[in-house]
Amino acid sequence: MTVTLTERAELRLRAFLQGTANPTDTKGIRVGVSDGGCSGYQYTLDIANEPKADDVIEQQGRVKIYIDPQAAALINGVVVDFVEGLMDSGFKFSNPNATDTCGCGQSFQAGDCTPAAVPCS
C-alpha cells in the first residue's frame, strides 16, 4: 500500500496543516476514492483531525496520510503532486500502476474492478 506525495505536494500540505487552527500531532490528510468510470478513478484529498479507527495510516515527511481501508487497494501507487495555478485545489493525482482491466466504455463505481484498475487513464 503506497501513496506518494511529491516534494512540492508534501511541502504545500505540511505548510497548510501547520497553518490551520489548532495544529496537532494527529492532524493529517485523508486520501480516498469518490467514484470511477471510463476516465479513471476520481481521488479525494481532505484535511483530517485524526484517523478513523480502521484507517490505513502512512506518513511522508511530516505529513500523516489516512486512507479508508475500503479504498486502500484502489489508491495503491497513487502519486499526489501540487501544481501552481491548477483549478480547484492545485493537487493532481496520477497512478503509474493503472491498468485497463474493466474495459473502456463500461462505467463502474469505485471498487467494482480489480484494485489497481483505472480504465482508459
C-alpha cell at 69: 481501508
**Confidence class for position 11, pLDDT limits 50, 70, 90:** very high
The pLDDT tens digits of the residues spanning 34-85 come to 776 555 677 888 999 999 999 999 999 999 999 988 888 778 888 999 987 6
C-alpha cell at 45: 484529498
pTM for this model (two decimals):
0.74
| Among the listed residues 12, 6, 8, 17, the one whose alpha carbon sits nearest the alpha carbon of residue 64 | 17
State what percent of residues in the chain have pLDDT above 70. Answer: 69
C-alpha cell at 109: 463505481
How crowded is residue 50: how many other Cβ atoms within 10 Å of its Cβ?
A: 13
- Walk across the sheet containing 56-60 and list its strands: 42-48, 28-35, 63-67, 56-60
